[in-house]
Amino acid sequence: MLETRYDIRVDWGHCDPAQIVYNPNFVVWMEHGVNVLFEAAGHALSDLIRADPNRRGLPLVKSEASFMAPARFGEVLVLSSRVTRFGRTSFDIGHRFTRGDTVIAEGKQIRVWSVADPDDPDAIRAEPLPAEIRAGLEEDRIVTVRTFWQG
């Protein structure tokens, strides 16, 4: 499977008063990891959504995280993201945060490929991930983005 890796510099604003990363920041970083993963697969989410007015994106239906070690102000973490399971209309994305050889946190998201529901303009419906997008995510390679992401 395609795996992306990118560096995150822990800034002051990411931390609580003890200079430890405030846990919700990991959720924000995982969201960015999804964007990086789709871009590396050749299908930037922003382009996909703009190209088809019926596309509604990747709703998050479940998210979980486990924290193994603290991350602190001034450290550089690496976030690795990849699809770990494909279902009929859903797929799982696994995220791993490391500092050197130390695993800081791991997360999992379940996403659904969605389109506008033709019977209800305010609703969405799940559909299978298009074959060309799935093929890009299934490529066996690692893409490393060496820029610091700050959010």
**Could you tell me which residues come within 8 angstroms of residue 100 by beta carbon, excluding any fewer than 6 positions away?**
none
Average pLDDT estimate for 124-150: 88
- State residue 75's pLDDT score: 94
Residue 25 pLDDT greater than 90, yes or no: yes
Residue 35's nearest CA partner among 93, 86, 96, 106 is 93
For 3-149, CATH number?
A: 3.10.129.10
Q: Let me know: does 56 contact 116? Beta carbons within 8 Å.
A: yes
User: pLDDT tens digits, residue range 67-125?
Assistant: 999 999 999 999 999 999 999 999 999 999 999 999 999 999 999 999 999 899 789 99
pTM: 0.92
Residue 27 pLDDT greater than 90, yes or no: yes
Domain residue spans of the chain: 3-149
